[in-house]
Chain A
Amino acid sequence: MLPGLAYFLLFHYGAFIGNAVAFKEYVPFDGLWASPWVGVENFNRMFGDPDFWHATWNTLAIALLQLIFFFPVPLAIALLLHGLTSDLLRRFVQSVVYLPHFLSWVIVVALFQQVLGSTGLLNSVLGDAGLHAVDIIGNPDAYKPLVVAQVVWKDAGWGTIIFLAALMQVDEQSYEAAAIDGAGPWRRFWHVTLPSIRPVIVLLLIMRLGDVLSVGFEQMLLQRSTVGPGAGEILDTFVFWQGLVGGDTGYAAAAGLFKGVVGAALVFAANKVAHRLGEQGIYK
Chain B
Amino acid sequence: MTTAAHHARPARHIRPAWAEKPGPVTQAGKAVAIAVLLVLVLMPFLVIVSTSLASNQEVVDNGGWVLWPSHPTTRAYRQILDGGIVTKALGVSVGVTLFGTLLSLACTTFLAYALSRPKVFGAKPALILILFTFLFPPGMIPAFLLVKGMGLLDNYAALIAPVLINVFNLVVLRGFFQGIPEELYEAARLDGAGDWQTLWRIVLPLSKAALAVVGLFYAVSYWNAWFHASIYMNSDHWPLQQVLRTYVIGGAQIADTGASEAGLISAPQTTQMAVLVIATVPILIVYPFLQKYFTKGVLTGAIKS
Contacts and interface: CB of A to CB of B under 8 A. Distances in A.
Contacts of B284: 99
A31 B113 CA distance: 38
Contacts of B226: 104, 106, 218
Nearest to B150: A10
Give the interface size class of chain A. 35 or more
B2 A165 contact: yes
B190 interface: no
Nearest to A200: B302
B165 A7 contact: yes
Given A86-B13, A103-B280, A161-B299, A110 B19 contact: no
B294 interface: yes
A69 interface: no
A176 B18 contact: yes
A100 B41 contact: yes
B139 A260 contact: yes
Interface string A231-257: 000001001100110000100110011
A186 to B, nearest CB: 11
A95 interface: yes
Interface in B148-187: 149, 161-162, 164-165, 170
B260 A11 contact: no
Nearest to B305: A282
Greatest chain A CB density within 10 A among B114, B252, B279, B299 is at B252
A96 B41 contact: yes
Given A32-B145, A107-B244, A161-B294, A102 B15 contact: no
B3 A119 contact: no
B262 to A, nearest CB: 12
A34 interface: no
Contacts of B76: none
B47 interface: yes
A239 to B, nearest CB: 5
A128 B66 CA distance: 14
A106 to B, nearest CB: 5
B199 to A, nearest CB: 11
A30 interface: no
A168 B3 contact: yes
A16 B142 contact: yes
Contacts of A50: none
B138 A18 contact: yes
Contact of A1 (B11, B33, B114, B141): B114
A120 B64 contact: yes
Given A113-B249, A176-B17, A8 B139 contact: no
Given A84-B30, A119-B256, A165-B299, A99 B141 contact: no
Contacts of A113: 249, 252
A111 B52 CA distance: 13
A106 B245 contact: yes
Interface stretch (B78-86, B126-134, B203-211): B126-134
B145 A249 contact: yes
B248 interface: yes
A180 interface: yes
A119 B138 contact: no
Contacts of A217: 227
Interface in B250-305: 252-253, 255-256, 259-260, 266, 272-273, 276, 279-280, 283-284, 287-288, 291, 294-295, 298-299, 302, 305
Interface string A213-228: 0000110011000100
Contact of B139 (A31, A32, A185, A253): A253
B139 A168 contact: no
A109 interface: yes
B111 interface: yes
19 contacts: A7-B164, A8-B133, A10-B146, A12-B138, A77-B37, A87-B10, A96-B37, A106-B226, A119-B266, A168-B6, A180-B18, A185-B19, A239-B139, A252-B141, A256-B139, A257-B139, A260-B137, A260-B138, A263-B136
Interface of A: 1, 3-5, 7-8, 10-19, 21, 31-32, 77, 80, 83-87, 89-90, 93, 95-100, 102-107, 109-111, 113-115, 117-121, 123-124, 127, 138, 153, 157, 161-162, 164-165, 168-169, 172, 175-176, 178-180, 185, 210, 217-218, 221-222, 226, 236, 239-240, 243-244, 249, 252-253, 256-257, 259-260, 263-264, 267, 282
